[in-house]
Amino acid sequence: MRYVSTRGSAPILTFGEAMLTGLARDGGLYVPETIPTLTPDEIAALGGLSYEEAAFRVMRPFVGEAFTDAEFRRAIDAAYAGFGHAARAPLVQLTPNHFLLELFHGPTLAFKDFAMQLIGQLFQIALARDERRVTIVGATSGDTGSAAIEAFRGLPNVDVFILFPEGRVSEVQRRQMTTPDDANVHALALKGDFDDCQARLKDMFNHFEFRDAVGLAGVNSINWARVLAQVVYYFTSAVSLGAPARKVSFTVPTGNFGDIFAGYIANRMGLPIDRLVIATNQNDILHRCLTTGRYETDGVKPSISPSMDIQVSSNFERALFEAYGRDGGAVTQLMEELKAKGGFTVSQGAIEALRATFASGRVSEEETLATIARINTATGEVLCPHSAVGVSVAEKLRDPAVPMITLATAHPAKFPDAVEEATGHRPALPSRMAELFAHPERVTSVPNDLPALEALIHERRRR
Ligand SMILES: *Cc1c(COP(=O)(O)O)cnc(C)c1O
């Protein structure tokens, strides 16, 4: 299996190389050259398997020779062993034909653990085999950073630096990043917003001298291996509701478009999906784009669902690449226009292709709080604000005849202030996380300045 860049002019890589590289050298994102498919019988056969076995069967065709079957199985087993639920991704029914896929039973209580725990294992195997070291730099609106630190802490061949927007992550998120005391972990509070963090990270990848000197590796959702790990739960949840004989729909609270793009891949692999619904908070660039055809940045407005406070949605580039018939030149032009003018217009053909797969909705802050309260009263389920954005959009757009699965992306205790405001009760952290408030924090405040960041990484990384 070979991987090509969405901008068409970076080297073609194997799965292992694409995983360790992150962003392509032409500024694009890696995607598989062809998308493998599963037959209806192969999909039906996933029913009743353990999550780990289903994960192996869904992901194996993308991995090629980068890992042996035994290595890949071992990585999957280790990745999910620390989850707090035997089903890993349990499905809970909310109302008739509306289901919630709980993706928050991993070590940092957000869906990011599904991918990050796996790539932590895969990095370890690949780096030890090649006797290589890498410096991982990640940008986070809160959950990616904690998941990455949890997955890579203490690994011998890796240093991990996480940039988060100072003052804009929840206390639980911050503590998950600042309390691990492993020598290879560095939490950096950047003076700026999440888009600044993401922009500086991209700058580092585009500064080849720095990139090569430190062995820069990326674990943001630009990393193909992360998208791949998220494809699995679309299959397991749909099959448990009768796929492939019956179509299902999904609603996905969306920021960087990674999680929902995994649903698109599941669909292309042969999983029958009726609608794939993008749910956004007041940072609604994706909803506006689907509605008007114009992709235009508009400044981040901090919200109660901070992990979706994003304007430039990196993985959308992968969807554009597909919508433009895999024309890397066209994608390059759009991205250059975005950089120069802050927006671009999607061609008529491409917007129709996107609308054939995706629907979208936007939720205000008030509706989000009201949804948390209403679902809590009606079902007893406590939603985090991101999951509430999903549920609210799903309720508006769903076809009652088709099962709707809304992805619950974080545990409510990760965002206790919003949940308490909505329900009057402060959600408790699972008991396995009690230590979080006992440990001292370790964090470095950094300016929104590339040379200063690069100097700090040079100085701190181990050799
Ligand atoms: C990261 C995150 C999202 C957004 O996911 P994307 O893959 O960036 O679209 C939504 N909810 C929570 C809780 C998250 O951590």
* Substitution candidate for ligand 1 out of 143, 234, 415 with most atoms within 8 A of CB: 143
* Substitution candidate for ligand 1 out of 224, 251, 304, 308 with most atoms within 8 A of CB: 308
* CATH code of the domain occupying 91-109+224-423: 3.40.50.1100
Asked if 385 contacts 304 with a C-beta cutoff of 8 angstroms, the reply is yes
Q: Based on the number of CB atoms within 10 Å of its own CB, is 355 exposed (0-12), middle (13-18) or buried (19 or more)?
A: middle
Q: Is 21 left (phi over 0), alpha (psi -120 to 50) or beta?
A: alpha
CA of 436 to the centre of ligand 1 (A): 22
Q: Which of 207, 201, 318, 170 lies closest to 256, judged by CA?
A: 318
**Active centre residues (catalytic):** 112
CA of 255 to the centre of ligand 1 (A): 6
pLDDT of residue 217: 93
* Substitution candidate for ligand 1 out of 307, 363, 387, 419 with most atoms within 8 A of CB: 307
- Kindly report the pTM of this predicted structure: 0.95
pLDDT of residue 265: 98
CA of 261 to the centre of ligand 1 (A): 12
CA of 410 to the centre of ligand 1 (A): 8
Kindly report the protein residue whose alpha carbon is nearest to atom 1 of ligand 1.
Answer: 307
Kindly report the protein residue whose alpha carbon is nearest to atom 15 of ligand 1.
Answer: 143
For the chain, the domains span 91-109+224-423
Kindly report the protein residue whose alpha carbon is nearest to atom 8 of ligand 1.
Answer: 256
pLDDT of residue 220: 84
Kindly report the protein residue whose alpha carbon is nearest to atom 2 of ligand 1.
Answer: 307
CA of 252 to the centre of ligand 1 (A): 9
Which ligand 1 atom sits closest to the C-alpha of 410?
13
Tokens representing residue 216 in the block: 């820069």
Residue ranges of the chain whose pLDDT lies below 50 = none
Could you tell me the CA-to-CA distances from 109 to 204, 290, 323, 379 in Å, in that order? 29, 30, 33, 21
Quote the longest CA-to-CA distance of the chain: 58
CA of 443 to the centre of ligand 1 (A): 23
Tokens representing residue 3 in the block: 């991987």
Which ligand 1 atom sits closest to the C-alpha of 112?
15
d(CA 187, CA 152): 13
Structure letter (DSSP) for residue 252: E
pLDDT in tens, 249-279: 999 999 999 999 999 999 999 999 999 999 9
pLDDT of residue 266: 98
Q: Which residues line ligand 1 (CB under 6 A)?
A: 110, 112, 143, 221, 253-259, 307-308, 386, 409-410
Asked if 221 contacts 42 with a C-beta cutoff of 8 angstroms, the reply is no
pLDDT in tens, 120-156: 999 999 999 989 999 999 999 888 999 999 999 999 9
